[in-house]
Amino acid sequence: MSWSRAYACCSSPLDMLLIFFLVCIIYVSATNKPNIVLILTDDQDISSIYSMPKTQKLIADVGASFVNSFCSTPICCPSRSSILTGQYLHNHGVFNNSRSGGCYSAHWRTIKEPLAFPVYLQSAGYKTFYAGKYLNQESSGIEFLQSVGMKKEKFLMVLATSAPHDPFTPESKYKGRFNGTKAPRTPNFNTFTKDKHWLLRLGDVPLPDSMVDTIDTIHARRLETLLSVDDMVEKVVLELKKFNLVEETVIIFTSDNGYHLGQFSLPWDKRQPYEFDIRVPLFIRGPSIKPKSVIYSPVVNIDLAPTILDLAGISTPDSMDGSSWLPLLKKTASNKISPRTFLVEYHGEGNRKSIDEKCGLKDPNLKECRVRNDCKCQDARNNTYFCLRSISETDDLSYCEFQDSENFIEYYDLKTDQYQLNNLRHSLSSSLQNKYSSRLKILQHCSGPICNELQV
**Within 312-400, where are the H helices?**
326-329
Name the 3-class secondary structure at 128.
strand
Residue 355 CB burial class (10 angstroms; 0-12, 13-18, ≥19)? buried
Choice among 71, 76, 77, 446 that is catalytic: 76
Residues 272 and 219: their CA atoms lie apart, in Å, by: 18
As a whole number of Å, the end-to-end CA separation of the chain is 39
Instruction: Say if CB 310 and CB 326 are below 8 A apart.
Output: yes
DSSP code for 350? -
Backbone angles phi, psi at 268, to 5 degrees: -145, 125
Name the nearest CA neighbour of 367 among 257, 256, 269.
269
Residues 130 and 159: their CA atoms lie apart, in Å, by: 6
Is 103 assigned a catalytic role?
no
Residues 173 and 382: their CA atoms lie apart, in Å, by: 42
Rg (CA), the chain: 21
Give the residue numbers annotated as catalytic, written as ranges: 76
